[in-house]
Amino acid sequence: MTLSAMRRIPKHIGIIPDGNRRWAEINGLTKEKGYAYGLKPGIRLYELCLELGVGELTFYGFTQDNTKRPSLQTAAFRKACVDAVSMLSGRDASLLVVGDTSSPSFPKELVPYTTRRVFGSGRIKVNFLVNYGWKWDLSFLQGQNSSSKKFSKGNLHNSLASSELSRIDLIIRWGGRRRLSGFLPVQTIYSDFYVVDDLWPDFREEHFYKGLHWYQSQDVTLGG
Amino acid sequence: MTLSAMRRIPKHIGIIPDGNRRWAEINGLTKEKGYAYGLKPGIRLYELCLELGVGELTFYGFTQDNTKRPSLQTAAFRKACVDAVSMLSGRDASLLVVGDTSSPSFPKELVPYTTRRVFGSGRIKVNFLVNYGWKWDLSFLQGQNSSSKKFSKGNLHNSLASSELSRIDLIIRWGGRRRLSGFLPVQTIYSDFYVVDDLWPDFREEHFYKGLHWYQSQDVTLGG
């Protein structure tokens, strides 16, 4: 099936780019060296989504859970996130970073992106979860955080820390694991979940196409 | 691999028994007829879990989303849930039904089970989600419901409507769909997700064993 034959284009794709550390070890590098090899795949994926007319793309950058890892690793994945945003800020994209800015784990360079910034025609929304935590996200429902202003009875989604991110149609996870690992629990409620066994730095366009082809055959019931 | 060779026994297994309506149609029945054929598989699965030493088992009965279906179907899946609980209430199990009892969609017969009831030695907890909704569950975080007494800053899980259900280690979904469809968003954050392509009424013990075998090779990182 060619791209042009695809009738169902997901409006919002979520990406879990897992396997950087395993890839580094397999390739004789220390674990933290893997993250830098995830940048090129991310940019290529962005280009493919732009070409295909996907409206929104969200990358699972790093989580508050992840920050418990050794500092060599946390420094490396923080840098990879900063670099990714920087590389896209020269392109055609509307960028948003979502995460807990109140902790030192949040890279200062990304603070300006916590309000959406449009580059070029901003044809595609590209979101990065950076120092994101599912507990942090859901805690806004409890009105513990600044968004308590947004507290709106009956509309959970609007009360989340991640309220600016829409429902996700298709999640693609690289690295073989079949779990969500805290990725936007509310937006992924009805998402179709496609797993690529290859590790993220081994990204090939074919992975993405296969995921989209599989998606063609899924129905949308929204739980109905 | 035999059951006795399995080192990692999930403490809590979640079951999404999907495909009853598709099964009915394939077998020349009207859609609503499929649900009754899901009872025997459910009982067998309970027996296997008891044998294996699984501590907790949760069945995704029906959701508030599901109640929008034609009344023939909603009556049929409500009856299947009542029958399933009734069949297990004579066995060795600690039963709990979790769902929104405030709506007429909730079967009256199951109200007594919304407080855990122990039968036999109660060796295994068996939970049924009945008229469950992810929005309903999470809305307790907003303190809109009676559980606002339970409101505890910093512990999301304890504030949920489903707070009595523990974290799920392994989800097995029958019927081929690769999505959670609103199944306990907080308890499934870190769950491994195994999909059986066969439809639920076509349950075979082998499906369960294969899921468990696959689970043996998964690590537990809890997002770390």
Write out pLDDT tens, residues B138-175.
999 998 554 444 444 558 999 999 999 999 999 999 99
pLDDT above 90 coverage of chain B, percent: 88
How many Cβ atoms sit within 10 Å of the Cβ of residue A222?
11
pLDDT in tens, A185-211: 999 999 999 999 999 999 999 999 999
Query: What's the average model confidence in pLDDT over A55-74?
Result: 97
Position A43 scores a pLDDT of: 98
Superfamily of domain A11-216: Decaprenyl diphosphate synthase-like (3.40.1180.10)
Cα–Cα distances (Å) from A15 to A46, A145, B1, B5, in that order, read 11, 27, 34, 36
> Would the CB atoms of A156 and B144 count as touching at under 8 Å?
no
pLDDT in tens, B8-55: 999 999 999 999 999 999 999 999 999 999 999 999 999 999 999 999
> Would the CB atoms of B134 and A189 count as touching at under 8 Å?
yes
b/e map A86-122, b = 16+ CB within 10 Å: eebeeebbbbbbbbbeeeebbbeebeebeeeeeeeee
In this predicted structure, the answer to whether residue B4 has a pLDDT above a threshold of 80 is no
Position A151 scores a pLDDT of: 47
Least-confidence region, from A40-44, A176-180, A183-187, B141-145: B141-145
Rounded to two decimals, the pTM is 0.94
Position A150 scores a pLDDT of: 47
3 state SS of A183:
coil
User: Nearest chain A Cα to B145, which residue?
Assistant: A153
Query: What's the average model confidence in pLDDT over A148-163?
Result: 75
> Would the CB atoms of A65 and B177 count as touching at under 8 Å?
no
Least-confidence region, from A97-111, A132-146, B71-85: A132-146
Least-confidence region, from A1-5, A92-96, B52-56, B92-96: A1-5
In this complex, the residue of B134, B186, B222 whose CB is nearest that of residue A65 is B222
> H-helix or E-strand containing B43?
helix B39-52
In this complex, the residue of B144, B156, B192 whose CB is nearest that of residue A139 is B156
User: Nearest chain A Cα to B172, which residue?
Assistant: A178
Query: What's the average model confidence in pLDDT over B113-125?
Result: 96
Residue B148 at interface with chain A, using a CB cutoff of 8 Å: no
B 1-60 near A (Cβ less than 8 A)? none
In this predicted structure, the answer to whether residue A101 has a pLDDT above a threshold of 50 is yes
pLDDT in tens, B173-205: 999 999 999 999 999 999 999 999 999 999 999
Cα–Cα distances (Å) from B55 to B84, B122, B168, in that order, read 19, 10, 11
Contact A136, A67 (CB under 8 A): no
Q: Which two tokens stand for residue A98?
A: 């979502």
Residue B66 at interface with chain A, using a CB cutoff of 8 Å: yes
> Would the CB atoms of A179 and B186 count as touching at under 8 Å?
no
Position A2 scores a pLDDT of: 66
Sequence-distant (6+) residues with CB within 8 A of A118 are A93, A94, A95
- CATH of B3-132+168-216, picked from 3.40.1180.10, 3.40.50.2300, 2.10.260.10, 1.10.10.60, is 3.40.1180.10
Query: What's the average model confidence in pLDDT over B87-114?
Result: 97
3 state SS of B172:
strand
Position B77 scores a pLDDT of: 98
Alpha helices in chain A (DSSP H): 20-26, 39-52, 71-88, 134-139, 156-159, 205-216
